[in-house]
């Protein structure tokens, strides 16, 4: 629905970052999940244009090959590796991480970008909690000691969160598994409550980066809100879960917000800022190239939620972790 070129009100967007590409990534390796579409694809192109080696981590082999060809057409002499990684399958995440480690890939910047906006209670947990948070949690947990950086140029991890986190309350109901479909459906609802599942998963992305920042001070961890971006993101929600009524609502909203929507190239600017800018603040949540405050519904303490989420996430991925 909102696919295709969209004019922004401002033309040249106010968040455009370093348009002359003075901040370079030559000699650096950037690994990106979900680089086959939308903001991830735009991020990959921009990083390649700044000289980086790319590692594409995506679930669809054919789409990855066409993405590689597309980037090679745009950028001369770019080096691109690709690995299949399906964030809906923790085994696939573990295999990809093991392969990268065993084969000595030296990642300087990891962009945890892939995400979707629907969930399936019949899977006994919100599927987007798995894709948007738990799988990225596992991936980062496995790779974190292998990221390459120095005191002057620390390794970086950038997680694509969202301002939608303001609809979350941190109760954690979307972060748990349930004993039966019936119980899951009773607690999580029918699946049309996009705001709950998605918002909680995006709050998880922000808190995940804060937890990692505390545990690994030599690596920079930040989360990002990219703005409202013209990708096929909402389409996937519509085809995945939306009923007729919510479809109409999304179409109306899409029409109204169209003039303010960013292109993927504009939507990746805050990610690129966090990848390239020398002084970024450890553990911060960024929007429009600036730190932004975190707000949630209800009165739960963010530090408590952060710690609960970390423990829950460790328990969720435990079977894939080899004791150190
Ligand atoms: N668009 C917005 O307005 C907006 C606003 C705030 C935050 N965000 C966040 O920005 C991020 C990127 O969103 P987008 O708008 O660029 O979405 P998009 O255009 O739908 O692209 C999503 C990417 O994630 C990949 N992906 C989905 N499920 C996957 C899985 N199971 N395993 C591996 N990769 C998977 C997709 O792969 P395929 O190509 O195979 O489908 C695609 O490459 C998301 O985390 C989203 O929450 C977006």
The CATH number of the domain where 60 resides is what?
A: 3.40.50.720
- Residue 61, domain member (yes or no): yes
The residue segments making up the domain with residue 273 are 29-318
The atom of ligand 1 lying closest to the CA of 36 is 43
Q: Which pLDDT value is given to residue 52?
A: 98
- Residue 23, domain member (yes or no): no
Structural domain count of the chain: 1
Distance between alpha carbon 140 and the CA centroid of its chain, in Å? Answer: 12
- Residue 303, domain member (yes or no): yes
Ligand 1 centroid–CA 113 distance in Å is 7
Ligand 1 centroid–CA 150 distance in Å is 30
Cα dist. 194→159, 167, 237, 272, 290 in Å? Answer: 20, 10, 8, 28, 27
Q: Which residue matches tokens 């479909």?
A: 181
pLDDT tens digits, the chain, 324 residues: what are they? 333 333 344 345 667 999 999 999 999 999 999 999 999 999 999 999 999 999 999 999 999 999 999 999 999 999 999 999 999 889 999 999 999 999 999 999 999 999 987 655 545 455 667 788 999 999 999 999 999 999 999 999 999 999 999 999 998 888 877 777 777 777 777 655 556 788 899 999 999 999 999 999 999 999 999 999 989 876 655 554 444 555 666 666 666 666 678 999 999 999 999 999 999 999 999 999 999 999 999 999 999 999 999 999 999 899 888 755
Q: Is 93 helix (H, G, I), strand (E, B) or coil?
A: helix
Q: Is 298 helix (H, G, I), strand (E, B) or coil?
A: coil
Q: Which pLDDT value is given to residue 116?
A: 83
Q: What are the two backbone dihedrals, phi and then psi, of residue 276, each rounded to the nearest 5 degrees? A: -105, -30
Q: Which residues line ligand 1 (CB under 6 A)?
A: 33-34, 36-40, 58-60, 63, 85-88, 113-116, 131, 160, 162, 225-226, 228-229, 231-233, 236
- Residue 20, domain member (yes or no): no
Cα 250-193-182 angle, rounded to 5 deg: 145
Ligand 1 centroid–CA 264 distance in Å is 11
Ligand 1 centroid–CA 98 distance in Å is 23
Whole-angstrom Cα distance, residue 142 to residue 128?
20
Ligand 1 centroid–CA 324 distance in Å is 32
**Best residue for ligand 1 mutational test, from 8, 39, 159 (most atoms within 8 Å of Cβ):** 39
């Amino acid at each position: 629905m909102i696919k295709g070129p969209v004019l922004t009100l401002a033309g040249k967007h106010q968040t455009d970052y370093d348009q002359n590409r003075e901040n370079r990534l030559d000699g650096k390796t950037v690994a990106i999940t979900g680089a086959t579409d939308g903001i991830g694809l735009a991020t990959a192109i921009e990083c390649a244009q700044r000289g980086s080696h790319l590692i594409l981590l995506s679930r669809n082999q054919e789409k990855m090959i066409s993405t590689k060809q597309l980037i090679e057409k745009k950028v001369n002499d770019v080096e691109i590796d690709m690995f299949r990684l399906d964030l809906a399958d923790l085994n696939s995440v573990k295999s990809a991480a093991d392969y990268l480690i065993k084969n000595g890939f030296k990642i300087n910047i990891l962009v945890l970008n892939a995400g979707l906006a629907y969930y399936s209670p019949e899977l006994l947990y919100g599927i987007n909690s798995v894709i948007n948070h738990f799988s990225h949690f596992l991936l980062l947990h496995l790779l974190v000691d292998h990221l390459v950086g120095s005191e002057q140029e620390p390794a970086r991890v950038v997680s694509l969160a969202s301002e939608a986190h303001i609809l979350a309350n941190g109760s954690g109901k979307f972060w748990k598994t349930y004993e039966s479909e019936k119980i899951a459906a009773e607690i999580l609802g029918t699946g049309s409550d996009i705001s709950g599942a998605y918002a909680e998963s995006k709050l998880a992305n922000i808190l995940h980066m804060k937890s990692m920042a505390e545990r690994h001070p030599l690596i920079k961890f930040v989360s990002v809100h990219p703005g409202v971006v013209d990708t096929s993101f909402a389409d996937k929600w519509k085809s995945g879960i939306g009923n007729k009524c919510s479809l109409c609502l999304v179409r109306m909203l899409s029409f109204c917000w169209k003039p303010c929507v960013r292109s993927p190239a504009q939507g990746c600017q805050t990610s690129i800022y966090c990848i390239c800018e020398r002084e970024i603040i450890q553990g911060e949540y960024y929007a429009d190239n600036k730190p932004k405050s975190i707000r949630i519904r209800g009165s739960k303490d963010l530090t408590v939620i952060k710690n609960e989420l970390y423990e829950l996430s460790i328990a969720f991925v435990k079977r894939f972790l080899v004791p150190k």
